[in-house]
Every structure is written in C-alpha cells, then in structure tokens.
Amino acid sequence: MAARGVERVLAKCEACIIEGNFYEAHQMFRTVFFRYNSQQKFAEAADLLYRGALILLQHNQHTSGADLSLLLLDVLNNAKSPVSDDTIARVTGLFEKMDPECPERYPYLTKAINWSRKVDKDHSKRGHPDLHQRFGVIFWHERNYAQARYHYIHSTDGEGCAQMLLEFHTSHGYPSEVDMFITQAVLQYLCLQNKTTANICFEMYTQKHPKIDNGPPYRLPLLNFIWMLLVALEGGKLAVFTVLCEKYQVSINRDPHYKEYLDQIGQLFFGVPPPQRTPQGLFGNFLQNMLGAAGSDDEEDEENLVAGKGASSSGSTNSRMASGSSSLLRDSSSPLMATSASPSKTEKTFDLD
C-alpha cells in the first residue's frame, strides 16, 4: 500500500530535518509529491504534503512549509477533495502554524476558501462556514479582530462571534459603540440570510456584555430596534418592518450603512422590491464586497474575500469604485422609509444564493 511509501519518505525527511538539512528535506518532499501527483495518487500526495508542511513549520522553516501547504491546497482542489472536519482541521492547522507575517499566508487563506467554494455546492459563493469559523478562531487568538470578525460573519458560530465582538469592542471600540458593534454584525448576518446565527449572536452579546443591562427591552434604543427586528423577521410583515424603521430612524442614522443593510433586509425578508439603479450601482458593489464572492471569478474573489487586507486594486475594481461613488450622491431612492417603492426592474445586480 502506498501509505507505506509515505511513511518511508517521511522517515527519510525527518532524518534530514534532524540533521538540519531543511533544503534537502523540502526538495525530497517535492520530488515525491510530483511523482504521486503524476500518478494521480492524490490521497497519498495530500497526506505527504500535510505531514511534510507540518514538520517544516514546526522547525520554523516558514517558506518551505508554506510552499508545501500551498501545494496541498492545489491537490485538494485538483482532486476535488470534499470539505470534511478532517480536511478543515488539517488546512487550518497548517495556517495556524504559519508565521502571520509570511507573505504566503494570505494567498493560502484565499486558496483554502476557494477550494471549499469549488467542492461544496452549498457554499459556492462564500466558502464553507466551518472553514470560516476556524479561521475566525485563529485570527481571534492572534488578536487580529478585523480578520476574525470577517470570518465569523461568514460562519454559523454566533456564540463565538458574540464573544469575539465583546472583546473587540471592550479592547478597541468606544463606549458609545457598545450597541453598534452588535448591530453591525446582526445586520450583516441578515444580509447574508443567516437569521439563526444573527439571533444567537445578538442574544449572547447582549447577555454577556458587562455594559448592557438585562433585556429585552434594553436601555439603548438601537438594541430594542434589533431585538424587535429579529422578532419581526419571523412574521415577515412589511408594515411592522416599516414602523420599526420609521420609529428608530435617529438610531439607524448613527451609521450611514445601516440604511443600506436594512434596504437589503427589507428585500430579503419583507418583500420590499429592489430600488431602481444602474447595474453597477453602489449597492451592488457594496453587497458584493460584503458577501465576498458573489458570483464573480476567482481572481476578483481573492481580493474580495478578506476584509482588512486593503491594498490591491485592479482596473475593474477602480471602475466599480468609481461608479459606486457616483451613486453615493443619489441616496433618495431607498424604499426603506416608504411602504410603496417605485416599481423595480427585475435585474439582479447581486445574487445571494
């Protein structure tokens, strides 16, 4: 059986590593990997790469460890290996051991998410929630809250997200934002049609945050708004939604983006027709950004997938940003405060499923 082959190679490489011949070990892993790969022995190849990468990373050989890690994701991709607890543990385990500063880490992250998108039809837009959850935990441990937050929002771990947000708020936010941190998360979960996680996250955050009194109802109007909004989602009555948005307009205006999230939530849960807009309008951009990977090609996804990673802007990004900013000025077409919106085109500028 070929597994024995893997063991033999590993034994040799381990010997190399003990002697400090990291270069030789790395090359040996690569050579054997390419042999397996050309023989289509993907399981063996993946096993070898995982264990090789792990040994190298454990010996602080970050570049060669990352190299094998990236090769592992290529194999998972090519072999269309399904997302399982075991593969998630391996993929994120290597990520955790990579040097946070090493330049391969971010490409590795996006490659991992893209693998989960490709092999799992249910999560072909944003990547597998369990994979996001693991990345969220790792970033949280590294106190990289912005990244942790992004991945938690794409996970189904509302409890973990709440605890992370609580810590993020108390360590880096302003006291006046105690209700805004959770509002932002809940509204984003809802835009991603993840009602269950939104509910759990809200419950945990409000229960555990030392600066929030017992409720509902709460002392802070914005929290009451979110509480009632979450209840209203169940009934799905547009009139209720409209009353809530009217009565809490002052609180909603605290962050100009809330209105956009609520427009989207109105469409998703309360049958509000989408506003008329140009196909490349601000809102389309906005959602694509938030959803990460809404139906675009890979290259663009890699850019979108990870928040907090600034930098690169391709030509298409620039043009989309330009068209987005021009429609910033045109903000009155929102159906949020109106029960009867203007008749909509049925065009889909964004796609949530």
Q: Of residues 240-259, which lie at the interface with other proteins (CB under 8 A)?
A: 240, 243-244, 246-248, 250-251, 253-255, 257
How many residues of this chain bind other proteins (CB under 8 A)? 52
Q: Using the rule CB under 8 A, is 289 a contact of other proteins?
A: yes
| Segment interacting with other proteins, rule: CB under 8 A, options 40-48, 86-94, 107-115, 143-151 | 143-151
| Segment interacting with other proteins, rule: CB under 8 A, options 66-74, 87-95, 193-201, 215-223 | 215-223
Four-residue CA torsion sign, 133, 137, 142, 148: positive
Give, for 326, the enclosing helix (H) or strand (E): helix 315-328
Q: Using the rule CB under 8 A, is 114 a contact of other proteins?
A: no
CB of 322 to other proteins, least distance (A): 10
Whether the Cβ atoms of residue 99 and residue 138 lie closer than 8 Å to each other: no
H helical segments located in 19-84: 22-38, 42-58, 62-78
Whether the Cβ atoms of residue 178 and residue 209 lie closer than 8 Å to each other: yes
Whether the Cβ atoms of residue 262 and residue 272 lie closer than 8 Å to each other: no
Count of CA atoms in the C-beta half-sphere (13 A) of 151: 24
- From the list 93, 273, 295, 324, which residue makes contact with other proteins (rule: CB under 8 A)? 324
Q: Using the rule CB under 8 A, is 189 a contact of other proteins?
A: no
Query: For residues 40 and 78, what is the distance between their CA atoms, to the nearest angstrom?
Result: 10
Q: Using the rule CB under 8 A, is 299 a contact of other proteins?
A: no
- Judged by beta carbon, residue 138 or residue 185, the one nearer other proteins is 185
Q: Using the rule CB under 8 A, is 308 a contact of other proteins?
A: yes
- From the list 33, 36, 50, 168, which residue makes contact with other proteins (rule: CB under 8 A)? 168
Q: Using the rule CB under 8 A, is 304 a contact of other proteins?
A: yes
Give, for 8, the enclosing helix (H) or strand (E): helix 2-18
Query: For residues 338 and 255, what is the distance between their CA atoms, to the nearest angstrom?
Result: 20
Q: Using the rule CB under 8 A, is 188 a contact of other proteins?
A: yes
Q: Using the rule CB under 8 A, is 172 a contact of other proteins?
A: yes
Going by C-alpha positions, the residue among 272, 275, 195, 179 that lies closest to residue 229 is: 195
Q: What letter does residue 123 receive in the DSSP assignment?
A: G
Q: Of residues 38-67, which lie at the interface with other proteins (CB under 8 A)?
A: none
Whether the Cβ atoms of residue 245 and residue 252 lie closer than 8 Å to each other: yes
Q: Using the rule CB under 8 A, is 30 a contact of other proteins?
A: no
What are the backbone angles phi and psi of residue 227, rounded to the nearest 5°?
-55, -50
Going by C-alpha positions, the residue among 214, 243, 151, 143 that lies closest to residue 188 is: 151
Q: What letter does residue 124 receive in the DSSP assignment?
A: T
Q: What letter does residue 82 receive in the DSSP assignment?
A: P
- From the list 108, 181, 270, 283, which residue makes contact with other proteins (rule: CB under 8 A)? 181
- From the list 79, 307, 338, 352, which residue makes contact with other proteins (rule: CB under 8 A)? 307
Q: Using the rule CB under 8 A, is 155 a contact of other proteins?
A: no
Q: Using the rule CB under 8 A, is 306 a contact of other proteins?
A: yes
- From the list 154, 169, 201, 301, which residue makes contact with other proteins (rule: CB under 8 A)? 169
Chain residues in the site for other proteins (CB under 8 A) = 145-146, 149, 168-169, 172-174, 176-177, 180-181, 184-185, 188, 216-217, 221, 224-225, 228, 231, 237, 239-240, 243-244, 246-248, 250-251, 253-255, 257, 285-286, 289-290, 304, 306-310, 313, 317, 320-321, 324-325
